């Protein structure tokens, strides 16, 4: 959570207005992206899925939500028909199948992170 605490340091006062804004923007953005992902999956639009993965990867990385970040990175590569871990190319069908699983995974990770963050802010802050 180093990234997140660094963001908190940027807050000007006890209200955490800045970081809260950012986190809320992330929530909104993530939900929109999930919607788009579902749409792209239905349309079997792999490039779009890849770029959506990239997009969410960027914003989750900015907040330091590494699990979401990692899952999104995988999705990005699957979108390019590539498995970076196994270093092999994928067929479109294979990629879509994996992405379908991955989206569920990302959503779960995101829920967890969102829960944690909401709790953190509800609790009025504290050490991150």
Residue with tokens 């190319």, as numbered in its chain: 89
List alpha helices for the chain, DSSP H: 2-10, 17-42, 46-63, 66-79, 92-122
CB 125 within 8 A of CB 27: no
Stretch that binds other proteins, among 11-19, 36-44, 89-97, 112-120 (CB under 8 A): 11-19
Does 31 engage in binding with other proteins (CB under 8 A)? no
- Report the C-alpha gap between 94 and 97 in whole angstroms: 5
Stretch that binds other proteins, among 6-14, 39-47, 88-96, 115-123 (CB under 8 A): 6-14
In the shown chain, the binding pattern of residues 68 to 87 toward other proteins, with x for contact by CB under 8 A and - for none, equals -----x--------------
Closest to other proteins by CB, 93 vs 127, is 127
CB 74 within 8 A of CB 53: yes
- Report the C-alpha gap between 65 and 113 in whole angstroms: 7
Does 93 engage in binding with other proteins (CB under 8 A)? no
Write out the residues near other proteins by the rule CB under 8 A: 3, 6-7, 9-10, 12-14, 18, 21-22, 25-26, 28-29, 51, 54-55, 57-59, 61-64, 73
């Amino acid at each position: 959570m180093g990234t997140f605490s660094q963001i908190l340091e940027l807050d000007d006062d006890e209200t955490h207005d800045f970081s809260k804004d950012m986190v809320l923007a992330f929530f909104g953005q993530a939900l929109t992206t999930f919607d788009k992902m579902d749409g792209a999956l239905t349309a079997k639009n792999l490039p779009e899925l890849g770029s959506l993965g990239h997009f969410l990867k960027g914003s989750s990385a900015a907040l330091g939500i590494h699990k979401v970040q990692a899952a999104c990175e995988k999705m990005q590569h699957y979108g390019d028909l590539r498995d970076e871990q196994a270093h092999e190319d994928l067929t479109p069908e294979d990629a879509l199948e994996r992405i379908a699983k991955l989206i569920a995974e990302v959503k779960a990770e995101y829920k967890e992170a969102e829960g944690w963050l909401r709790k953190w802010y509800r609790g009025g802050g504290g050490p991150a």
